[in-house]
């Protein structure tokens, strides 16, 4: 079972004369959680879109998801984009099932998974509400839930909890941790928060300023299961945060 969930080899991407990414290579192993840190505009979202198969990378590089070269969006991948992927005219339940529906999952399976998902997201009372009636954090939970309902083999998260206050963010991080541990989920998470990266990830990749190159690949050796409040007290947490903070200052 050494097969990797995602393999990138020498992946570059330019838009006209803007080089967004330059020869990025890394493996995401099955069940592994990688956090991607980097300054704004360094190509993190671009990387997510490339893996999601939304557009091709420049010739010469290669991206594979579970051994298959990416030429189009793969069914084994679930993406939560930086902007909410919710339809304003659908209520929470319909938004949750949108992705699974679109991918052609059977009605029975969806019906089976909906109630526990609503419960897990803490949105049982809001199942009939519409996105504009929800708080920002609830919306991001629905967006995450929509991707999770498909049970994708690998999850790509592009700053899913950006623009949330620290407390809500912590709550969602706890939920994300629980989910990933329960399903042995492979995750690639883009974030701006060092704290979040250290709390959640097995490895942190750091991208340079544009054009984005991987400049650091740092393992996070914190015990699992993790809990934000307890994990933050560990000396290993502090040293990882410091290490990353210094590197962020340099790149």
Ligand X SMILES: Nc1ncnc2c1ncn2[C@@H]1O[C@H](COP(=O)(O)OP(=O)(O)OP(=O)(O)O)[C@@H](O)[C@H]1O
Shortest spacing between CB 86 and other proteins, in angstroms? 9
Give the nearer residue to ligand X in terms of CB position, either 9 or 19.
19
| The one among 6, 11, 20, 150 contacting ligand X by CB under 6 A | 20
* Residue 45 binds ligand X, judged by CB under 6 A: yes
CA atoms within 13 A on the CB side of 75: 6
- Picked from other proteins, Mg ion, ligand X, none, the partner binding residue 239 (CB below 5 to 8 A depending on kind) is none
Q: Which stretch binds Mg ion (CB under 5 A): 17-25, 79-87, 174-182, 228-236?
A: 79-87
Which residue's beta carbon is nearest to the bound Mg ion?
45
Instruction: List beta partners, residue 216.
Output: 206
Cα-based angle 184, 190, 193 (whole degrees, multiple of 5): 105
| C-beta neighbour count of 137 within 10 angstroms | 18
Q: How far apart are CA 115 and CA 27, in angstroms?
A: 35
Q: Considering only residues 24, 28, 37, 44, which one is a binding residue for ligand X as defined by CB under 6 A?
A: 44
**Applying CB under 8 A, does 79 fall inside the site for other proteins?**
yes
Rounded distance, CA 184 to CA 119, Å? Answer: 20
Of 132 and 229, nearer to other proteins (C-beta) is: 132
42 binds ligand X, rule: CB under 6 A: yes
116 in Cβ contact with 124 (< 8 Å) = no
Report residue 197 as tokens: 């990266």
Residues between 184 and 223 that touch ligand X (CB under 6 A): 210
Write down the least CB distance from residue 20 to ligand X, Å: 4
CA distance 165 to 183: 27
Q: Is 168 in the site for Mg ion (CB under 5 A)?
A: no
- Minimum CB–partner distance for residue 207 and Mg ion (Å): 11
Q: Which stretch binds ligand X (CB under 6 A): 39-47, 83-91, 179-187, 213-221?
A: 39-47
Residue of 29, 45, 127, 181 that binds Mg ion (CB under 5 A): 45
**Distance linking the first and last C-alpha atoms of the chain:** 35
Kind and range of the H or E run holding 11: strand 4-15
* Residue 85 contacts other proteins per CB under 8 A: yes
Distance CA 233, CA 223 (A): 12
The tokens of 13 are what? 């991407």
Spatial separation of the C-alpha atoms in residues 14 and 24, rounded to whole Å: 13
35, β-bridge pairs: 189, 204
* Residue range at the interface with other proteins (CB under 8 A); choices 16-24, 84-92, 121-129, 170-178: 84-92
Q: Interface with ligand X by CB under 6 A: which residues?
A: 15, 18, 20, 38, 40-46, 82, 210
Q: Interface with Mg ion by CB under 5 A: which residues?
A: 45, 82
């Amino acid at each position: 079972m050494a097969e990797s969930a995602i393999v990138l080899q020498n992946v570059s991407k330019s838009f006209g004369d803007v080089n967004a990414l330059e020869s990025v290579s890394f493996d995401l192993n099955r069940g592994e959680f990688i956090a991607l840190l980097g300054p704004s505009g360094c190509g993190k979202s671009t990387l997510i879109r490339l893996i999601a198969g939304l557009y091709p990378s420049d010739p010469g590089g290669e991206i594979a998801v579970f051994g298959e070269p990416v030429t189009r969006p793969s069914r084994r991948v679930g993406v939560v984009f930086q902007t909410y992927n919710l339809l304003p005219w659908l209520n929470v339940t319909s938004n949750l099932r949108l992705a699974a529906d679109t991918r052609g999952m059977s009605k029975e399976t969806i019906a089976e998974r909906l109630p526990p998902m609503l419960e897990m997201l803490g949105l049982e009372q809001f199942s009939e509400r519409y996105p504009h009636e929800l708080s920002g954090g609830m919306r991001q939970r629905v967006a995450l839930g929509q991707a999770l309902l498909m049970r994708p083999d690998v999850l790509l998260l592009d700053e899913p909890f950006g623009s949330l206050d620290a407390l809500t963010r912590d709550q969602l991080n706890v939920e994300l941790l629980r989910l990933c541990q329960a399903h042995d989920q492979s995750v690639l998470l883009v974030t701006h928060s060092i704290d979040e990266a250290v709390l959640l990830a097995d490895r942190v990749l750091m991208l340079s300023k544009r054009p984005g190159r991987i400049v650091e690949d740092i393992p996070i050796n914190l015990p699992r299961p993790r809990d934000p409040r307890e994990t933050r007290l560990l000396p290993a947490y502090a040293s990882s945060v410091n290490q990353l903070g210094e590197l962020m200052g340099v790149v």
